[in-house]
């Protein structure tokens, strides 16, 4: 693996306040993998035990390259006259990204005995040689202008316009314009607000658009897929094999008018510093409105496409409050600080592409709901008697899941049906039960975007000791968790002890269905009974440090010496029954260290 990162710039200041700056930066990253398989390796493989017969050695080399080149040119001008000052920036940017994948290999049938050959071409039949070269280019260009003005450090105005073009979209859809505007009023600079306990008080508002273009390259084009092959005639490698011919097919269903996803952010906030800078407070209300979020959609199978098209799928509205506060003070020889923050999120989807919902059980997108919500069936416990089953079957159809329905199976609830004319034009279900349990009965069962996040941090200093501790958490969020709740099928693996408590005629459980192979009653369908609270409160971090000081150090030329101990991801408190509500694989880490500076 080799990586080169570099950046050059040249800057000129022809007159006072004016600067011209050109920047050229590149990032080249390559990853090379070489493989050699010895035919005799079979001796060491548990299922083989002897060398592979009829094979020789295999050589392979794979090289992945990423090249990212950015060129920028900036003109900046600033000037102050009297109480007025302005700052103007014009910037042009050009970015080229190239990804290359080169692979070659010589598979099997090699007479060469080991990897240390200078030339590995000899001795192979043509059909044993493989070569692949893939490339994928993309590019981005942007122009930006920003004008900032401030009057006497009291009023601030800031206006920006960006215009960005990308290779990701088709002709006529490549360019987007993104203006933004900000204003601030430093109230504390006004005479009437000149209170001694206020150090700084600022009211600010902002409004702006940004663009997002990240999606599959050339998603707007119908590309020819040359992967298919078909064999004709005879004369292949064995009797019955034909000669392989290259074939072609169109696999895309491009939506040509896909274009920039635009995020419009508006916010209003107050920043305050009080009591000798000891107390800091920030309050903000924000709204982030994403217009045309870029996402792939499932399209009807009758189209016969191989890939999913990318569309500007929906508008997503995020809004909420952000509150932050911190306080710092001395108490005798101690210095302590305490900080907290809270962010609330209300997420709503609107204006779906062609009015069509998309996504599955874990990432459903529907009008009026939060993005990627959890969707599934509603259940009502478990059948306890044959009579309950018979009564249920009397009232409900459950296609394909009826034949073996019996006590111990989940009782699903018919809540909705197929849309009728009276449900309106874009309805995709009817709120009236139709006597059948089917996909129309799946509904909102939980959300994956937390309703709020928060964090708390504490700090303490005493002489040369310092100690910090961080907590963070989130709430109003759910996850689907199926462990221990599904029908136990045939053997072949380990089972959770939870299953000892499954439904049996003598153990009438209402949570875990009976044991039966192949789940003929569809008990395992994702439903409300799988939804669990994934909120948590996490002891994220602590650090205890000691700064060694003294004449001895300076005499040794050491400018600082710090000894510390820290821990990360220490504890999590959550109703979630799995290992971790966020990520099972995040480790708990303890670090002891010494920082030495000369």
Partner 1 sequence: MKNIYYIISFIICAGFIFTSCDDSTIELDPIGDTEAGFFQTEDQMTQAVLGVYQKVTFFYTFRGGQNNFLQGIWQLPSDDLTTEANHAYEFFSGLNGNNGQLNNFYRFSYQLISRANTLLEKIEENGTIAYENQPELRDYHRGEALFLRSWMYFRLWNTYGTAPLVKERIVALENAFPPNSQGTELLDQAINDLEEAAQLLPEIWDDANSGRVTRNSALGFRGKILVFRGTVAGDNTDFISAIQDFDAMNGVSLTANYGDNFNAAMENNEESLFEFQANNQSSMNNAFLDNDSFAVVGDIGAYYGQFARRPTWIGNAVYSATPSLINEFDKEDPRINYIFDMEPGLVTNVVKYIKDGNWTDAPGGANGSSRNNPRILRYADVLLLKAEAIVRSGGNLSDAITIINQIRERARMSVENGIPSPEPADYSLSGMDDNTVLDWIFKERRMELACEEGHRWYDLRRRHMAGEIDLLTWDFDSKRIDLEFEDYHVNFPLPEIEVIENENMNQNAGY
- Subset of 428-457 contacting partner 1 (CB under 8 A): 428, 438-440
Q: Of the listed pieces 81-89, 128-136, 179-187, 475-483, which binds partner 1 according to CB under 8 A?
A: 128-136
Which one of 5, 306, 393, 500 is in contact with partner 1 (CB under 8 A)? 306
Q: Of the listed pieces 31-39, 135-143, 374-382, 501-509, which binds partner 1 according to CB under 8 A?
A: 135-143
Is residue 166 near partner 1 by the rule CB under 8 A?
yes
Q: Are strands 310-312 and 315-331 parallel, antiparallel or unpaired?
A: unpaired
CB of 231 to partner 1, least distance (A): 4
Q: Which residues, in sequence order, are bridge partners of residue 341?
A: 324, 455
In angstroms, the first-to-last Cα distance of the chain is 32
Burial of 191 (0-12, 13-18, 19+ CB in 10 A): exposed
Cα radius of gyration rounded to whole Å, the chain: 32
Which one of 29, 77, 155, 218 is in contact with partner 1 (CB under 8 A)? 218
Q: State the DSSP string of 244-281.
A: EEE--EE-----TT---EEEEEEEEEEEEEETTTTEEE
The angle formed by the CA atoms of residues 479, 294 and 441, to the nearest 5 degrees, is 45
Binding mask 23-42 for partner 1 (x = CB under 8 A): xx------------------
- List the beta strands (DSSP E) in 51-128: 58-81, 84-106
**By C-alpha distance, which of 415, 347, 400, 436 is closest to 523?**
400
Is residue 230 near partner 1 by the rule CB under 8 A?
yes
CA 66 distance to own-chain centroid: 21
Binding mask 405-424 for partner 1 (x = CB under 8 A): -------------xx-----
Cα–Cα distances in angstroms (integers) from residue 336 to residues 271, 326, 330, 333, in the given order: 22, 11, 6, 10
Closest CB to partner 1 among 174 and 209? Answer: 174
Query: Total residues contacting partner 1 (rule CB under 8 A)?
Result: 95
Closest CB to partner 1 among 113 and 304? Answer: 304
Is residue 10 near partner 1 by the rule CB under 8 A?
yes
Closest CB to partner 1 among 14 and 557? Answer: 14
Is residue 582 near partner 1 by the rule CB under 8 A?
no
186's tokens: 């430093």
Which one of 4, 33, 177, 225 is in contact with partner 1 (CB under 8 A)? 225
The angle formed by the CA atoms of residues 446, 452 and 457, to the nearest 5 degrees, is 140
Is residue 356 near partner 1 by the rule CB under 8 A?
yes
Kindly identify the residues of this chain, within the stretch 250-289, that bind partner 1 according to CB under 8 A: 250-251, 253, 255
Is residue 523 near partner 1 by the rule CB under 8 A?
no
176's tokens: 């987007």
Which one of 178, 286, 392, 401 is in contact with partner 1 (CB under 8 A)? 401
Is residue 134 near partner 1 by the rule CB under 8 A?
yes
Is residue 393 near partner 1 by the rule CB under 8 A?
no
Q: Of the listed pieces 202-210, 225-233, 261-269, 450-458, which binds partner 1 according to CB under 8 A?
A: 225-233
Which one of 108, 486, 541, 543 is in contact with partner 1 (CB under 8 A)? 108
Q: Of the listed pieces 34-42, 294-302, 459-467, 530-538, which binds partner 1 according to CB under 8 A?
A: 294-302
Binding mask 544-573 for partner 1 (x = CB under 8 A): ------------------------------
Burial of 505 (0-12, 13-18, 19+ CB in 10 A): exposed
Which one of 80, 193, 205, 232 is in contact with partner 1 (CB under 8 A)? 232
Is residue 524 near partner 1 by the rule CB under 8 A?
no
Residues 6+ apart with CB under 8 A from 136: 98, 99, 100, 217
Is residue 482 near partner 1 by the rule CB under 8 A?
no
Dihedral through CA 545, CA 551, CA 557, CA 560, nearest 10?
Answer: 20
Dihedral through CA 197, CA 200, CA 203, CA 206, nearest 10?
Answer: -160
Q: State the DSSP string of 180-218.
A: EEEEEEEGGGSGGG--TTEEEEEEEEEEEEEEE--S-TT
- Per the CB < 8 A criterion, the answer to whether 102 and 62 are in contact is yes
Is residue 83 near partner 1 by the rule CB under 8 A?
no
- In whole angstroms, what is the distance from residue 127 CA to residue 150 CA? 72
Which one of 226, 465, 573, 590 is in contact with partner 1 (CB under 8 A)? 226
- In whole angstroms, what is the distance from residue 6 CA to residue 195 CA? 50
CB of 129 to partner 1, least distance (A): 10
Closest CB to partner 1 among 429 and 471? Answer: 429
Is residue 248 near partner 1 by the rule CB under 8 A?
yes
Which one of 5, 43, 205, 221 is in contact with partner 1 (CB under 8 A)? 221
Is residue 369 near partner 1 by the rule CB under 8 A?
no
CB of 438 to partner 1, least distance (A): 7
Residues 6+ apart with CB under 8 A from 397: 435, 436, 437
Which one of 53, 354, 494, 583 is in contact with partner 1 (CB under 8 A)? 354
**By C-alpha distance, which of 87, 285, 83 is closest to 186?**
83
Which one of 87, 94, 271, 363 is in contact with partner 1 (CB under 8 A)? 94
Is residue 89 near partner 1 by the rule CB under 8 A?
no
Is residue 14 near partner 1 by the rule CB under 8 A?
yes
Is residue 403 near partner 1 by the rule CB under 8 A?
yes
400's tokens: 């394909």
């Amino acid at each position: 693996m080799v990586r080169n990162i570099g950046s050059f710039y040249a800057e000129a200041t022809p007159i006072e306040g004016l600067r011209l700056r050109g920047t050229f930066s590149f990032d080249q990253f390559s990853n090379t993998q070489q493989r050699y398989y010895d035919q005799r390796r079979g001796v060491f493989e548990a299922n083989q035990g002897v060398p592979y017969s009829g094979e020789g050695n295999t050589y392979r080399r794979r090289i992945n390259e990423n090249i990212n080149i950015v060129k920028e040119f900036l003109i900046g001008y600033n000037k102050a006259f009297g109480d007025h000052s302005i700052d103007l920036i014009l910037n042009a940017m050009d970015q080229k990204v190239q990804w290359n994948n080169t692979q070659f290999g010589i598979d099997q049938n090699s007479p060469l005995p080991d990897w240390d050959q200078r030339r590995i071409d000899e001795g192979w039949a043509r059909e044993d040689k493989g070569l692949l070269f893939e490339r994928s280019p993309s590019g981005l260009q942007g122009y930006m202008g920003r004008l900032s003005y401030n009057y006497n450090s009291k009023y601030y105005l800031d206006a920006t316009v960006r215009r960005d073009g990308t290779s990701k979209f088709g002709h006529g859809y490549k360019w987007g314009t993104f203006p933004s505007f900000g204003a601030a009023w430093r109230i504390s600079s006004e005479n009437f607000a000149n209170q001694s306990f206020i150090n700084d008080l600022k009211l600010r508002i902002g409004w702006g658009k940004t663009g997002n273009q990240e999606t599959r390259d050339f998603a707007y084009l119908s590309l020819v897929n040359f992967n298919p092959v078909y064999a004709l005639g005879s004369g292949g490698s064995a009797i019955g094999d034909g000669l392989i011919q290259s074939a072609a097919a169109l696999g895309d269903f491009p939506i040509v008018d896909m274009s920039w996803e635009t995020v419009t952010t508006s916010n209003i906030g107050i920043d305050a510093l009080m009591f000798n800078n000891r107390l800091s407070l920030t309050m903000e209300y924000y709204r982030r409105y994403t217009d045309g979020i870029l996402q792939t959609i499932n399209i009807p199978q009758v189209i016969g496409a191989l890939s999913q098209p990318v569309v500007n799928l929906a508008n997503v509205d995020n809004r909420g409050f952000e509150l932050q506060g911190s306080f710092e003070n001395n108490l005798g020889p101690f210095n302590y600080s305490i900080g907290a923050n809270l962010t609330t999120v209300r997420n709503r989807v609107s204006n779906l592409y062609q009015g069509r919902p998309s996504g599955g059980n874990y990432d459903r997108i529907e009008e009026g709901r939060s993005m990627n919500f959890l969707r599934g069936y509603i259940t009502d416990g478990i059948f306890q008697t044959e009579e309950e089953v018979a009564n249920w079957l009397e009232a409900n159809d459950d296609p394909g899941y009826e034949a073996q329905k019996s006590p111990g199976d989940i009782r699903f609830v018919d809540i909705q049906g197929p849309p009728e004319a009276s449900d309106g034009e874009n309805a995709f279900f009817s709120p009236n039960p139709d006597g059948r349990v089917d996909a129309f009965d799946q509904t909102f069962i939980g959300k994956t975007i937390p309703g709020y996040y928060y964090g708390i941090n504490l700090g303490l200093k005493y002489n040369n000791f310092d100690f910090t501790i961080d907590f963070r958490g989130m709430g109003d969020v759910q996850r689907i968790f199926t462990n221990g709740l599904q029908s136990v099928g045939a053997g072949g693996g380990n089972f959770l002890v939870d299953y000892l408590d499954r439904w049996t005629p003598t153990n009438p459980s209402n949570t875990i269905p009976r044991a039966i192979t192949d789940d003929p009653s569809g008990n395992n369908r994702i439903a409300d009974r799988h939804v669990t609270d994934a909120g948590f409160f996490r002891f994220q971090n602590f650090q205890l440090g000691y700064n060694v000081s003294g004449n001895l150090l300076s005499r040794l030329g050491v400018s600082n010496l710090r000894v510390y101990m820290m821990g990360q991801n220490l504890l999590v408190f959550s109703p979630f029954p799995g290992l971790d509500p966020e990520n099972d694989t995040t480790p708990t880490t303890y670090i002891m260290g010494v920082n030495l500076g000369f």
